[in-house]
Every structure is written in C-alpha cells, then in structure tokens.
Amino acid sequence: MTHDETLPAATPEVTADAVLDALRDVVDPELHESLVELGMIRNVEVTGAVVAVDVALTIASCPLRGQIREDVASRVGRLAGVADVEVRIGVMGAEERSALMARARRAAQQRAVAVDLPPSARVLGVVSGKGGVGKSSISVNLAVALASRGLTVGLLDADIWGFSIPRMLGVDGPLEVRGMKMQPIERKFGAGAVKVVSMGFLSGEDDAIMWRGLMLNRALQHFLEDVEWGRVDYLVVDMPPGTGDVQMGLARMLPRTELLVVTTPGLAAQKVAGRAADMARKGHLRIAGVIENMSGFTCGHGERYELFGSGGGQRLAEEIGAPLVGRVPLDPSVAVGGDTGAPAALDTASPIAAVFADLAERVATEIAPLVDLEGCSARLLANVEAALDRSAS
Ligand SMILES: Nc1ncnc2c1ncn2[C@@H]1O[C@H](COP(=O)(O)OP(=O)(O)OP(=O)(O)O)[C@@H](O)[C@H]1O
Ligand SMILES: [Mg+2]
C-alpha cells in the first residue's frame, strides 16, 4: 500500500468562477433568463467549503424570492466540495434594474418569432385592467385616425375568442392566402389604410366556439408569423380583457410591443396600475401611455356630466409614470359606429372625431420613440413596481 492510498481523496477546491458557471443554470422564473445573464448575481464569496452568494432581486417584495433562494442554494450545493451555501438577498437599484430590463429585452428579442413587420413599425398593445372599458373601440378609432394622417396601420384583433374588430370596422373575410402568407383585409381611410386580421375572418362571428380547441397562443403566433403585414407604420393590437396568456404570448413573440393602458375615470387607479405593472414586469414591456375612456358625457345642451367619476386616467398615469395621451368622452356615436362598422373617428365634422385625431397626433408625435425610452425605463419600472407593491399590500 503506497502512502498516497491511505489519504482521503483530496476535496476539490471550489472557485467563484465555478459557482458562477453553475448559476448559469438557474433561471428567473418570470423573466426566463439565467440569473447570471440578468446581472442578478452581485457577488460570490468562497471561504473554504462555504459559499456565500449575493442575489439582487428587482423588487423587495418579489413573490418568487423563496423559490430563487432555494434554486440558488440547491444548484450551488450540488457542486463538489461545497459544504454550505448562504444566499443573501438584496434589492436592485434603479440603474441595475434598468440594465436588467434591457438585457431581458435583448434576450427576448432573440427568442422572438419572425414577424413580417418593418423594423420601424411601432407595435402598440391596447390593454386594460378590466374588461369592457373600450379597448376595441379605442383600437379601431385610433387605427382609423392614424390612417387618416396618411399612415398605414396594421390592426391585429388578438381577442381570439371575443373578436369584435370586423364588426366595428365594417370589414369581412375570408383572408386570402398568397404565397403561404395570409393577406390582411385592407380598408382605405383618407391617404392611409388599415390592414386587419381577426379570428372573425377565419370563422365567422357566430361559430367562434369551433375554435376553442385551438390553443390561444398558437392562434396568435399564426397571426404574427403567417400574415404578410407588409409596410405598416403601426401595428395596433386589440387585446382580450385581462392579463393572461395572450398578453404574455405577445410579449414573448413580439417583445418590441409597447402598452397603451385604457381605463375609465372611476376605476381605482391603483388596481389598474398594479395589473398593468404586472403585465409590464412579466413581459418586460414598456408602458407607452394611458388613455382614459368614457370620461364625462356632454349632453345636447352642452352640459357635462361625469357619469363614471373623474380623474382616473390622470391618477393612473401618475401611478405608472407614463403620459396620459388622451381622454375620450362617452359619446353615443362611438357605440353606434361600433355596431354599424362606421367608426366615429371617420365623421370628421364631429367633435368625437377631433378627439380621436388629437389622440392619434399625440400617439404619433409625443410618445417617445423606443430608443429614447431606454434611459428612463428604470424610472418607469420603479414607478410601476411601486404601484405593484402598493396594490399587493
Ligand atoms: N367612448 C365611448 N362612448 C360610448 N360608448 C363607448 C365608448 N367606448 C366604448 N363604448 C361602448 O362600450 C362597450 C364596450 O366597449 P369595447 O367593446 O370597446 O370594450 P373592450 O374593452 O374592448 O371590451 P372587452 O374587454 O370585452 O374586449 C361597447 O358597447 C362600446 O360601443
Ligand atoms: Mg374588446
């Protein structure tokens, strides 16, 4: 027996690099990216067989705190030579958070599906914290008002089961397929045009039920990948109510989506902010602006009534730190136009058309382009996350 064989096997030495390498396998459950790639591992300290890892979370009240701690401890604990792991949880500052969101967006871009959209086209997802606040009415009239400025606007009806755009815009299918790609239904408005895709063109308004077997996200992906959108300046996406699969699917497949949050004056701003913030955080999307709908009613005598309360749009805008880009009054012509396929924004002599023209103007000129927003995404995020904290408590 040689001298060497009597010794216990040498314990491999753990290095900080080996720990970092191992942590590449640990993925943030919401952002679907490695903690290392996201810059969430601040420091690794190795003292003999004891490893201490500093993890920085995006928000202090991160609901996944426990899971992240456990994942880190268990992954590092599996490394040969590690006897004990201490996971120290901290919270990111605004700059770190901004850098994290930029990294998460870049990673998401790499995973995005191939959509036939010019790189310059802006994608505006019209969302809300609650159903029935007027997302579809706003989407249609905003699209028409943008088209009236001479722009070409894609209008994607992402409300797969509850589609309403074909009726509201007075357009009908079926979609034509050319060279393996579906062609949106195009309607000219002034010098511009709106190009629409909706489940309504595939199934007819009454038999949507038939499509329930089709996965929601598959349908959305189909509309993104297999449609020849062509040269559009904007893609307005009318979202279904809520903050579910379709919203997250769009964020994943088309990460350049920005959100326009529709609210009514009486809705609790904090609650809506919480939902919007949640959507923005999970999908790492930007909130481009807030639109208040049904804000007051002016009767035939010129008297104004605040039927649904007041100030909700402004309060929400303040909560999430995004601009209030429009206030659309309650006007019967919006509802009638929606039912008859003649959007209210078309009647250029009417006051309501002026409101939508103004909204389109602000969307086109005042919402900072994506690139300029990079620097203030930390502020936006800090605001939306503060709102999220408040609404969670
Ligand atoms: N500014 C307005 N003035 C009058 N009626 C409006 C206005 N905005 C929306 N409506 C009406 O309110 C109802 C709900 O609007 P809409 O369908 O656009 O909401 P939604 O948020 O898309 O709903 P859902 O969550 O079900 O998709 C419709 O009957 C619509 O005509
Ligand atoms: Mg709708």
In a domain, 323, yes or no: yes
In a domain, 104, yes or no: no
Instruction: Give the tens place of pLDDT for each residue, 157-169.
Output: 999 888 999 999 9
State whether 287 and 218 are in the same domain: yes
- State the helix-helix crossing angle for 135-148 and 351-365, rounded to 10 degrees: 80
**pLDDT at 29 (0 to 100):** 78
State whether 68 and 135 are in the same domain: no
Residue 110 has pLDDT above 80, yes or no: no
User: Model pTM?
Assistant: 0.73
Instruction: Give the tens place of pLDDT for each residue, 212-231.
Output: 545 666 788 888 888 999 99
Q: Are 55 and 35 in contact (CB under 8 A)?
A: yes
State whether 132 and 268 are in the same domain: yes
Query: Is there an atom of ligand 1 within 6 Å of 164 CB?
Result: yes
Provide the 10 A C-beta neighbour count for residue 42: 13
Instruction: Give the tens place of pLDDT for each residue, 286-320.
Output: 888 999 999 876 766 667 666 666 678 888 888 88
> Total structural domains in the chain?
2
In a domain, 98, yes or no: no
Query: Is there an atom of ligand 1 within 6 Å of 293 CB?
Result: yes
From the CA of 238, give the closest atom in ligand 1: 22
Structure-token pair, residue 300: 């035939």
CATH number where 12 lies: 3.30.300.130
State whether 357 and 228 are in the same domain: yes
State whether 142 and 273 are in the same domain: yes
State whether 246 and 308 are in the same domain: yes
How far apart CA 244 and CA 241 sit, in angstroms, is: 8
* Least confident residue range of 77-81, 179-183, 278-282: 278-282
- Which ligand is nearest to the Cα of residue 127, counting in written order? 1
Query: Is there an atom of ligand 1 within 6 Å of 265 CB?
Result: no
- Which residue has 């601009």 as its token pair? 323
Query: Closest Cα to residue 126, out of 153, 97, 99?
Result: 153
Query: Is there an atom of ligand 1 within 6 Å of 343 CB?
Result: no
How far apart CA 286 and CA 266 sit, in angstroms, is: 24
How far apart CA 250 and CA 112 sit, in angstroms, is: 9
Domain containing residue 42? 4-92
- Alpha carbon nearest to ligand 1 atom 12, residue: 134
Query: Is there an atom of ligand 1 within 6 Å of 292 CB?
Result: no
Domain-terminating residue out of 92, 119, 136: 92
Average pLDDT, the chain: 82
**pLDDT at 24 (0 to 100):** 93
Query: Which residues, 6 or more positions from 348, have their beta carbon under 8 angstroms from its beta carbon?
Result: 148, 357
Element (H, E) at 177: strand 176-178
Instruction: Give the tens place of pLDDT for each residue, 195-206.
Output: 999 988 876 544
Query: Is there an atom of ligand 1 within 6 Å of 294 CB?
Result: yes
Q: Are 285 and 320 in contact (CB under 8 A)?
A: no
- Alpha carbon nearest to ligand 1 atom 11, residue: 335
Query: Is there an atom of ligand 1 within 6 Å of 152 CB?
Result: no
Question: In this structure, what DSSP letter does residue 166 have?
Answer: H
Phi, psi (deg, nearest 5) at residue 294:
60, 35
Can you tell me the mean pLDDT for 140-153?
95
Model confidence at 384, pLDDT cuts 50, 70, 90, reads: low
In a domain, 333, yes or no: yes
- State the helix-helix crossing angle for 135-148 and 332-340, rounded to 10 degrees: 80
Cβ-based burial of 301 (10 A; exposed 0-12, middle 13-18, buried ≥19) = exposed
Q: Are 377 and 257 in contact (CB under 8 A)?
A: no
Element (H, E) at 251: helix 245-253
Q: What is the 81 CA–ligand 1 centroid distance (Å)?
A: 62
Cβ-based burial of 3 (10 A; exposed 0-12, middle 13-18, buried ≥19) = exposed
State whether 255 and 288 are in the same domain: yes
Query: Is there an atom of ligand 1 within 6 Å of 132 CB?
Result: yes
Domain-terminating residue out of 57, 92, 127: 92
In a domain, 100, yes or no: no
- Alpha carbon nearest to ligand 1 atom 23, residue: 132
Residue 106 has pLDDT above 60, yes or no: yes
How far apart CA 311 and CA 266 sit, in angstroms, is: 7
**53 beta partners:** 44, 87
